[in-house]
Amino acid sequence: MAIQVSPNGGAASSVSSTAVMEAPGVLGSLLRRLPTGEDFRARIGDLWTRSRPWNEFFNTAAMNKPELSELRERVSQNLAYYAYNYATIFAVLVVLMVLVSPLSILGALAIFALYTYLFALNPEPITALGDRVVLDSRGKSVVVLVFSLVILWLTGAGATFSTLLFVVATIAIAHAAIRKPPGEADFESGIPGA
Q: What's the pLDDT tens digit per position in 3-21?
A: 344 444 444 444 444 444 4
In the predicted model, is pLDDT for residue 47 greater than 90? no
Domain assignments of the chain as residue spans, ordered by start: 25-192
Alpha-carbon distance 166 to 161, whole Å? 9
Alpha-carbon distance 49 to 51, whole Å? 5
- Entry pTM: 0.58
Ramachandran region, residue 76 (left: φ > 0; alpha: ψ -120 to 50; beta: rest): alpha
In the predicted model, is pLDDT for residue 73 greater than 80? yes
DSSP annotation of 66 reads P
Average pLDDT over residues 98-107: 81
Reduce the DSSP state of residue 134 to 3 states and report it. strand
User: What residue type is assigned to position 122 of the chain?
Assistant: N
Query: Which DSSP string corresponds to 7-20?
Result: TTSSEEEE--HHHH
Average pLDDT over residues 61-84: 90
CB 87 within 8 A of CB 79: no
